Amino acid sequence: MSNKARKSLKAARPVGHPGPPDRAATSEGELEERRATVAKLRDLTEKAQQGDERAALDIREILDGSPDLAWRFIKGPGKLAESALIDVFTKDEDLASKELLKHQLESMRIEVAGENPSPLARLLAERVVATWLEVQVFEGLYAAGMKGGTLSQHDHWQKRLDQAHRRHLLAIRTLAQIRKIGPAVQINIAEKQINTIE
């Protein structure tokens, strides 16, 4: 992997992630305060996961001031779905395959998004990769079902595979259309035209 690709991998972040603060513009005192906030947030997260409502309110207050910290503790819904699919695709004890697949998917997201992608293009690139993984999972399940199972089971997995494949092609087509349109996107909502600039 080239140095440029490595930098892209490190720079890649999910859509909605505000990115970490600029360390060069942050004083040592501010960094120390941030470390203390992270430690407090970690403690509050454990309490809130046990049902502590006061801890949940304290978490909200901290994240209102530093929204980027949420990404250090919680996976987004897309990552949770991806982890679930990876678990279906790999054996429980095969940690190497899980790790390799996670990194492969991250590389694919960067490659599909392209250079300097807009937030919308990055979001659609994530969808393309997620649906690709879904197709692989259902192809594996369909192939495994070919060794045994009833005709209705075969039909079930074939339908699931076809649906996953259609979603994948739709995600690819949508990303291609957004790229073709360019930076200005027109959206019609309830017969009102909204022009957005990416």
Could you list the residue range(s) of the whole structural domain that residue 192 is in? 77-197
Domain end, chosen from 21, 47, 73, is at: 73
Regarding whether 102 and 45 lie in a shared domain, the answer is: no
Regarding whether 190 and 113 lie in a shared domain, the answer is: yes
Regarding whether 105 and 129 lie in a shared domain, the answer is: yes
Backbone angles phi, psi at 171, to 5 degrees: -65, -45
N-terminal to C-terminal alpha carbon distance within the chain = 30
Q: What does the block give as tokens for 62?
A: 């901290």
Regarding whether 100 and 59 lie in a shared domain, the answer is: no
Domain end, chosen from 36, 56, 73, is at: 73
Within 10 A of 124 (CB to CB), how many other CB atoms are there?
24
Q: pLDDT band at residue 48, thresholds of 50, 70 and 90?
A: confident
Domain end, chosen from 50, 73, 96, is at: 73
Q: Write out pLDDT tens, residues 173-194.
A: 999 998 888 765 555 555 555 5
Regarding whether 62 and 155 lie in a shared domain, the answer is: no
Q: How many domains does the chain have?
A: 2
Regarding whether 38 and 135 lie in a shared domain, the answer is: no
Q: Measured between alpha carbons, how far is 59 from 56 in angstroms, rounded to an integer?
A: 5
pLDDT for 76: 56
Regarding whether 192 and 106 lie in a shared domain, the answer is: yes
Instruction: Single out the residue of 198, 17, 2, 3 nearest to residue 116, CA to CA.
Output: 198
pLDDT for 17: 53
Query: pTM higher than 0.85 for the full model?
Result: no
Instruction: Single out the residue of 187, 136, 180 nearest to residue 161, CA to CA.
Output: 136
Regarding whether 109 and 37 lie in a shared domain, the answer is: no
Regarding whether 87 and 29 lie in a shared domain, the answer is: no
Regarding whether 62 and 127 lie in a shared domain, the answer is: no
Q: Write out pLDDT tens, residues 112-149.
A: 988 888 888 888 998 999 999 999 989 988 888 778 77
Within 10 A of 139 (CB to CB), how many other CB atoms are there?
14
Q: Write out pLDDT tens, residues 10-33.
A: 445 555 555 555 666 677 887 788
Quote the longest CA-to-CA distance of the chain.
67
